[in-house]
Amino acid sequence: MLRYMRRNRSLVVGLCLLLLVLLFAGLGRLLWDTSLAAPLSAPPNRPPSWEHPLGTDRQGRDLLAVMIVGTPLTLYIGLLAGFIGVAIGTVLALTSAYYGGVVDSVIRGLVDVGLTIPTLLVLILLAVSVRSSLSVSQMALVVASLSWLWPTRTIRSQVLSIKERAYIQVARLSGASNRQIIFFEIMPNLLPYLAATFVGAVGAAILASIGLEVIGLGPIEANTLGMTIYWVTYYAALLHGMWWWFMPPVVIIIMVFVGLFAISAGLDELANPRTRRGV
Amino acid sequence: MRLDYIVRRLVLFVIVVWAAATLNFFLPRLSGKDPIRDKLIQQAAAGGYVHTGIQQMVEEYEQKFGLDRPLWVQYLTYLGDVARLDFGYSIANYPRTVMGIMADSIPWTVGLLLTTTLLAFVIGSILGALLAWPRSPRFVQYLFPPLLTLSAIPYFLLGLCLIYLFAFRLKLFPLFGGYTPGTFPALTLNFALDVLKHSILPALSILLASLGFWALGMRGMMVTVEGEDYMTFAEAAGLKSSTLFFTYAIRNALLPQTTSLGLALGHVLSGALLVEVIFSYPGIGTTLYHAIRQFDYFLIQGIVFTIVLGVTLATLVLDLIYPLLDPRITYQRA
């Protein structure tokens, strides 16, 4: 395992980046007073100093505390929406690819139509419709409502290819039931793909949630990373040169995205031994 | 066979547009909120009027907008309106129609998107081809990791960094907007230069973030093409390296690459909408941002539907062009 990790550099880089982000959020919660993330808990518009290492924003939040509170929230939205997306996607993909026929046509048609429409726009429409009181979890559910489309398509094609392999036919000939074949023959071989799809879905969900937040449909009371960027544009922090306000969320988000991207590239290599580098 | 493909593609187009219109109609109604009543009460509260007449006013407006009729009649009327691209009036800027507001901003978005997408496609593909070409200069290989990293970053975050660096610190470019405030849009050289100067940073943030995507795809295609027999044959025939590169490798690798163009469109567009917000660029994304802030329901619906229509139409056109571009595609029934 360790020897393989040494060869699969992008997996290691990705895991390290995410670990760093988690470490920051975890240790920060222990070492720093997170109640400073509430508005009016510090003097506003201060550049970084010993008292407030990342400075404070216009509404008097301590930005270090905001980052410590916001990072887990943003990751939580991504993980929840990504998990729901992959779970629904796997079920739909398995039924669609394994049973075929009308079910397959309907599911494939839905996915084709859904993927043609830019996701962000439907999410905007949805978020506007339920806007009254969007909490962080509701935000995740809104994002999850469309996050199953892409997993369904990719997993379906993977199942189709696994389905034709010889060991499935052997299992069928030896009298295994459909359920046995799905759970004991297809699923174990699907797992690496599911992991890669999950990582991709989490990234897409975080991107969608930040997009919604930047355009002004996020959970106003929550201090997620995307909301911080929304406040940056709302108060035109750039025109005042308040770099300490937007740099921390940008750096953390970039670390998360590059980390997820590298992990999914690494998992891809794990799942497709043919693209593995020679020893 | 060919006709079959075209018909299937057209049917998908109609279904997508119909689905978008239906979502547009039913989603807001599911929430059980009443935009007209909300708006009137909000205005009344802002103006300090007495609240007694509101109920009658709401009824009056509902009658006027047909909101008192049964749902299916409203739905059919809505579909009819949408088919004529009539999205009604903006609630926040009342006498203006949704179509009129959109007509002002769409050219900005189309101009920005068209140039950046084409540039990213061309530059990214050439870079990708060079990356896979064994005889390309050494430094190209070093470009790949940074390009990949950039492609993982959302466009608008890159935009934020670019504004701070180039507009605020170095003062090379304007900080926001599509043209200098105070000037009026006109077809003069000065105005064109002004627009160009304002659009460089937004364009750059879209360009830098999407180059990696194209380079990655092209590199994969080039590797496949280089393994083909005709490449070995052409090389054995003693053709020049540049002929091999341009007419044998690139020509064949580029065609599948155009397929991704259709797939990437929706993604690029969503990213570009947010870039516009960050730069206050006067395109459709900024209009949408303001519509959401003012809770201008009809404008939001109109913009969402128009963008979906545009993306679907573009995808349809691209899908119909591929068979002409690439004679190898036959689109047989699966």
pLDDT of residue B332: 52
CA distance A234 to chain B (A): 10
pTM: 0.86
More confident residue, B46 or B69: B69
Say if residue A152's pLDDT is above 90: yes
Say if residue B21's pLDDT is above 80: yes
Quick one: pLDDT band at residue A19, thresholds 50, 70, 90? very high
Which residue is closest to A126 within chain B, CA to CA? B27
Say if residue A29's pLDDT is above 50: yes
More confident residue, A240 or B112: B112
Say if residue A132's pLDDT is above 70: no
Mean pLDDT for B317-332 is: 71
Beta carbon pairs, A and B, within 8 Å:
122
What percent of chain B has pLDDT above 90? 6
Instruction: Supply the ipTM of this predicted assembly.
Output: 0.82
pLDDT of residue A278: 40
| B26, B30, B156, B224, best to mutate vs chain A, most A CBs in 10 Å | B156
CA B303 – CA A6 distance, rounded (Å): 49
CA distance B27 to chain A (A): 6
Region of A39 (left: φ > 0; alpha: ψ -120 to 50; beta: rest) is beta
Mean pLDDT for A57-84 is: 91
Interface touch A215/B315, C-beta < 8 Å: no
The most confident of A12-21, A123-132, A186-195, by mean pLDDT: A12-21
pLDDT of residue B1: 52
Q: Quick check: A125 contacting B, CB < 8 Å?
A: yes
Interface of A with B in 247-276 (CB under 8 A): 250, 253-254, 257-258, 260-262
More confident residue, B215 or B135: B215
Quick one: pLDDT band at residue A148, thresholds 50, 70, 90? very high
Which residue is closest to A130 within chain B, CA to CA? B31
Quick one: pLDDT band at residue B333, thresholds 50, 70, 90? very low
